[in-house]
Structure 1
């Protein structure tokens, strides 16, 4: 393999490479692109001629691999339309059965490795080795491609990236600079590569090592790169729906023009003049319209602010810059919450467990500007029976409920920082969900283990918890931030522990949790619960009065439960 750079050399200032990306398919335009990729892999010299280009007797390339199908392929050029100078492949979990690392280790050893590291196969991507022209090495193309593949894996939801590195020319040390580490006991000599090969593992949670900033930047640019290289949708609209993406792509006016040229934009919404007029009214409520809306100095309106592209709908929307956008968006709260309070709320990070009821809270928070960062825990796909509870349409069927919530929130505010734990809360994911801290937790799950385990973590970390049970007219508040010894669920279930709940039968769960409302909530209940949670959250996060307790508001009389009753 090529020596991308001397492992001890300082990181060069990398130029802006032009990179195209596509997901390999067995037919159509992508198949033709795959043939070009394979020719590129065969042409670029590797290891100073130790692995020369080879052609099979049937004319195919020796680099033909089934692993290409279903993998992301990145091709780098110095400028659009220029000759290809480098390439890297990122294999997705869908192709995990064909990973080269799995073949290198064998199925049993590979699965043991993932289990020992705490990863499920669906959470692991595999990156190939960057292949670059010799003259581009000192310009940092290998660094750029490697960082892009890792960043793309981060964006696509990976928890780990695995790969095989050569050791003769320092490939393993090169990958260590991106946060990879060698897996003990995996190094061995491979005759085909004429060197020792070692398996390297990268934990997404640990960041991108020495090149963390570049990995992070390219992670955020990946959706734009992928969109620009995608095959435009056919007029018949027969393409498969996007069920994975929830982050909008934020770009400049120039990037927006490139997106428009790609054919992947279905609608353009540019109301920046109206937004500027609203901004002027927000800043100067009196006499705002005498001279028209305030224009940004030194910039044309088209270049002012941000263009947000939503891949799942194909909409491209022009919005004000973050601070101006939020100033206008929360203008309706003037007189109820002052500007410093609004800024404090946008600085908060909120965890939400349990759609659909949790969705009502999350969407209300997004609407009212409560929280600027969110962690959402998934709970399965959006089904036909959910249409009476969640804000979604028939075109959303099959999308994870948490992903659907994140999309709706991003369509309200493209600047929100939203993470989705699609696996939901499990013994394997709960620590990751709470990692990095939360300012508030909304718990709306009907799984006993999750209800108790989430509260155990919240109490240990001093995170307040709010829960709404609209079917019983109940808002539940637990101020673990003030009361670190407070019993879970106000002690209603005694000294219950989450570890004791993992093996309960359905009958035992009913007996133990019969006093908790687990009935499905209709849309009205979801909306009502969201409103209650938002009011409690606002009070807690702004330091206003909100005590622990169970608060009841119900049109149906309930002896001894009417009104509010702090615990």
Structure 2
């Protein structure tokens, strides 16, 4: 169902005002010029023009984000009264146009045409085009249209866009048009068919059309700088902490730590003190003695645990400098006993201790962030080496569990912070420049029991496996498509070919310098193009054109973290987990025939 909430302010007028029409034509032409893509819309003197007789007698809709803001989008709706001037009629010729309508069983006097849907670059991909298109269709329905017709470009998928509203491309009408520098096709829509995928929005705007039509047309100006100075406080406030990532652990029983804790509290840097040690002690008692439920008995056990210490003296105060929080927690072993208590029955305490003795390397902390947090939560590994050169950006917020206040933070720093906030007793080192020829050896020589490889750089993917194979380190990779998990047990098979031999006898030196297309081809071979999802396969041809990067979803990343966690736990505990590729394809798993109940 289409979201009916929208941020757009729309005004409309029926074409008659010459001044408004001149402004509309200039707006349309400037957007259609599209930075030189369609040169026919700019005059020799640099002004823009799109004069059409069709403008007279047509409805013109102008959209803004705010009533007093600049115009950001426009669409025209022509009524049957100007049918002789329809663009589609001119494009087809009068005879073909009338034959097409006759074939569709529609009288010319009940056909409307929408055209010239344009949106400023700064407002594209925000739903404005969808909103304006739905408004024109809804208005036509309100005005009694039996059908709608229009010409559509095809280069950027405009024809597919109109299909979402119930339009159909008319066979035999597609051809190249010099003015638009692309193929154009006739699109046709029967009002009785509704609004396609956006039927709800079309219906809503059909009902709103009378109000919009009655609104006074606004001048096509606005958006000039306000001239206001920024509040002084905005300039005075320091930026976010992008560097610190390791907490300071202070045990009040230690005289030096007590002095450091006292000094810290005196600085005024502590924004928040979080002390739930009493509740943690109660959980500790219940974790050790699940049958102990009597409140008085629990209080006795807590006093025994404190052994004469005051609550504030017991355990550790963890200082997180990036958030300026001071948190009181149990001592390390007791903290971990309670924190992983609910693992028991699936991972018992001796196994938990074995896992905490392992050191894990994670390369690539976008998809790898999900694995890192899963490991930290589940207690898979007590020490980590994290590597990523990239900073957390707004487009990562569709799949990384982080907040807007963390934008700009290096992903290795971000992941380390998140892991320390789960378990401040972890041992973590980071490589915020990613892996390079200069530091890759140091990354591995620290001792790694398992490698999670989730980076996008071909050289790193291959070089990391070369080191892992030489050092007999197992490698796990989630591919974030169809739930594909890749396992290479170099610890058991030191002669195993890299990436299962899918790339032949490849070496890192072979992939050090690749063109964009060579990288795409390599990754397709690496993930086995025959087995990837149709959506991912289709996206490769759109990279750099309609897609800025590989498509990834939070659900897929979360699944990848779970799969990596399961494989890692099995490998590190010596449970069965063979080399190979394994799919947890939710498209198949959620198909009706796989349901175990009816």
State how far apart, in whole Å, the 2-side matches of 1:453 and 1:445 are. Answer: 12
Q: Deviations 1:133-160 (Å, cap 9, x if unpaired)?
A: xxxxxxxxxxxxxxxxxxxxxxxxxxxx
Give the conservation status (yes or no) of the 8 Å contact 2:355–2:380.
Answer: yes
* 1:543 is aligned to 2:549: no
8 Å CA contact 1:384–1:397 kept in 2: the answer is: yes
Provide the residue aligned with 1:528 in structure 2: 559
How far, CA to CA, are the matches of 1:465 and 1:379 in structure 2? Answer: 20
The counterpart of 2:297, out of the listed 284, 291, 295, is: 291
- How far residue 259 of structure 1 moved from its aligned partner, in angstroms, is 1.3
1:237 CA drift (Å)? 7.6
- Contact 1:364/1:531, CA 8 A, preserved across alignment: yes
1:492-522 per-position Cα deviation (integer Å, ceiling 9, x unaligned): 1110000111122112222233234593422
Partner SS, residue 470 of structure 2? helix
1:274 aligns with 2:275: no
Aligned partner of 1:368 in structure 2 is: 378
Whether the aligned pair in 1 keeps the contact of 2:482 and 2:586 (CA below 8 Å) is: no
Following superposition, the deviation at residue 410 of structure 1 comes to 0.5
In 2, the alpha carbon distance for the partners of 1:500 and 1:478 equals 21
The answer to whether the Cα contact below 8 Å between 2:364 and 2:453 also exists between their aligned partners in 1 is yes
Contact map agreement 1:362 1:405 (CA 8 A) in 2: yes
Partner of 2:247: 248
1:483 counterpart = 2:483: no
Distance 1:426 1:490 in 2: 24
Moved segments of 4+, more than 4 Å: 234-237
1:242-292 residue CA offsets vs partner (Å, 9 max, x unmatched): 101110011133233321111000000000000000000011111243412
Q: Distance in 2 between matches of 1:466 and 1:459?
A: 12
Aligned partners of 2:502 and 2:526 also within 8 Å: no
Partners of 2:586 and 2:425 lie apart in 1 by 39
* Native 8 Å contact 2:358 2:381 kept in 1: yes
Instruction: Measure, in 1, the Cα distance between the counterparts of 2:389 and 2:552.
Output: 15
User: C-alpha deviations, 1:399-446, integer Å up to 9, x for none?
Assistant: 101100110001000001111101101111111111221010000112
Mapping of residues 110-509 of structure 1, within 5 Å: 238-253=237-252, 254=258, 255-289=260-294, 290-293=296-299, 294-295=302-303, 296-509=306-519
Q: State whether residues 355 and 379 of structure 1, in contact with CA within 8 Å, keep that contact through their aligned partners in structure 2.
A: no
> Tell me, what secondary structure is at the counterpart of 1:260?
helix
Aligned equivalents of 1:292, 1:511: Cα separation in 2? 63
SS in 1 for 2:297: coil
> Could you report, residue by residue, the CA deviation over 1:448-484 in whole angstroms, capped at 9, with x for unpaired residues?
1111100000000010110111223201111111110
Cα distance, 1:557 vs structure 2: 5.2
Please give the secondary structure, in 1, of the residue aligned with 2:416: helix
Q: Give 1:236 deviation, angstroms.
A: 9.8
Q: CA deviation at 1:368?
A: 0.5
Cα deviation, residue 551, structure 1: 0.3
- More deviation in 236-245 or 476-485? 236-245
Alignment root-mean-square deviation, CA = 1.9
1:356–1:520: structure 2 CA closer, same or farther, 3 Å change rule?
Answer: farther
CA contact (8 A) 1:423 1:429 kept: no
Deviations 1:85-105 (A, max 9, x none): xxxxxxxxxxxxxxxxxxxxx
Aligned counterparts of 2:523 and 2:388: Cα–Cα separation in 1: 22
Q: 2:234 and 2:262 mapped to 1: Cα distance?
A: 21
CA distance in structure 1 between the aligned counterparts of 2:578 and 2:454, rounded to whole angstroms:
19
Deviation string, structure 1 residues 353-388 (Cα, Å, up to 9, x no partner): 112100000000000011100000013111111111
Q: TM-score, normalised by structure 1?
A: 0.56
Give the gaps of 5 or more residues in structure 1. Answer: 1-233
Q: Distance in 1 between matches of 2:443 and 2:353?
A: 25
Contact 1:280 1:288 in 2 (8 A): no
Number of residue pairs matched by the alignment: 326
What is the rounded CA distance, in whole Å, between the counterparts of 1:385 and 1:429 in structure 2? 28
Contact 1:356 1:390 in 2 (8 A): yes
Normalised to the residue count of structure 2, the TM-score between the two structures is 0.53
Q: 1:349 & 1:552 partners in 2: Cα distance?
A: 26
After superposition, the C-alpha distances for 1:336-366 in whole angstroms (9 at most, x for unaligned) are 1111100011110000011210000000000
Question: Who is 2:144 aligned against?
Answer: none
Moved more, 325-334 or 462-471: 462-471
Judged with a 3 Å threshold, the aligned counterparts in structure 2 of structure 1 residues 471 and 508 are, in CA distance, closer, same or farther, namely: same
SS in 1 for 2:385: strand
Whether contact under 8 Å (1:475, 1:551) holds in the other structure is yes
The offset of 1:393, in angstroms, is 1.3
Quick one: distance in 2 between partners of 1:418 and 1:534?
18
Q: Distance in 2 between matches of 1:552 and 1:501?
A: 27
State how far apart, in whole Å, the 2-side matches of 1:434 and 1:239 are.
37
Distance in structure 2 (CA, Å) of the matches to 1:470 and 1:515:
16
Secondary structure of 2:327's counterpart equals strand
User: What is the alpha-carbon distance in structure 1 between the residues aligned to residue 525 and residue 480 of structure 2?
Assistant: 14
